[in-house]
């Protein structure tokens, strides 16, 4: 089978944190509001940004941004991600790209080879029924997709049969304030298991790289919450 089932394989790569000195830019912009540019000195940016965050003056955080590449994630993951409208997205196109290997994300706690579901097909007045697994269903899906293309369907038409679990790499650029909003929603206990795990890993990393912007999120075993 030319099928690859991915479980707990979602990854991220931080491509850029912009500008080179994001805290310094936030301080410069923020001090315009307070007319206190004369107080800028070596090491003052971190203290100033922390004060902004604690006061809830998060709009100033929008002057710095981060670009992240997410891979081994599903189209379900990206459907949720692109709902964050104050961001830019570039995603793998199913209109133009045809993969020889079908990569599909499955829940991490499921046996994808257990034959659980009975399919029933009526063919020439004969009823055929058989049990299949998640992996077998995905392979049938793959056969239908590639078969439609072979029969002359355009990729953008054949893609209508693609499952929401199909792999869909995406690059996301958002300002720091929007990333805080993303973490607040996607790292919570109510978030979907796939996006929560990947975003939790990303949050842990950015807390190391830009702690003063993100270290007020409290990370528990499998979720994070923003202090009220």
Active centre residues (catalytic): 186
* φ, ψ (nearest 5 deg) of residue 216: -85, -5
Give the Cα separation of 62 and 64 in Å (integer).
5
- Radius of gyration for the chain, computed over Cα atoms and rounded to the nearest angstrom: 23
Exposure on the CB side of residue 65, measured as CA atoms within 13 A: 11
Give the Cα separation of 103 and 141 in Å (integer).
12
Using a CB cutoff of 8 Å and minimum separation of 24, what contacts does 142-145 make? 142/1, 142/2, 142/3, 142/102, 145/102
Quickly list DSSP for 115-144: --EEEEEEETTEEEEEEE-HHHHHHHHHHH
């Amino acid at each position: 089978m030319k099928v690859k089932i991915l479980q707990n394989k979602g990854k991220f790569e931080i491509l850029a944190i912009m500008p080179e000195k994001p805290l310094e830019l936030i301080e410069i912009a923020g001090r315009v509001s307070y007319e206190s540019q004369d107080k800028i000195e070596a090491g003052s940016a971190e203290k100033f940004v922390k004060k902004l965050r604690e006061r809830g003056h998060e709009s100033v955080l929008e002057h710095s941004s981060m670009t992240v590449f997410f891979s081994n994630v599903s189209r379900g993951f990206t459907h949720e991600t692109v709902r964050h409208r104050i961001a830019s997205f570039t995603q793998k196109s199913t209109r133009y790209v045809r993969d020889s290997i079908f990569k599909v994300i499955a829940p991490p706690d499921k046996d994808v080879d257990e034959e659980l579901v009975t399919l029933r097909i009526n063919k020439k007045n004969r009823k055929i029924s058989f049990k299949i697994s998640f992996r077998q269903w995905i392979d049938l899906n793959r056969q239908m997709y590639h078969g439609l293309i072979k029969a002359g369907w355009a990729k953008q038409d054949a893609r209508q049969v693609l499952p929401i679990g199909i792999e869909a790499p995406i690059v996301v650029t958002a300002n720091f304030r929007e990333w805080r909003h993303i973490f607040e929603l996607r790292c919570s206990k109510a978030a979907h298991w796939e996006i929560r795990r990947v975003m939790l890993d990303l949050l842990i990393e950015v807390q190391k790289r830009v702690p003063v912007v993100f270290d007020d999120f409290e990370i528990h075993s499998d979720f994070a919450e923003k202090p009220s």
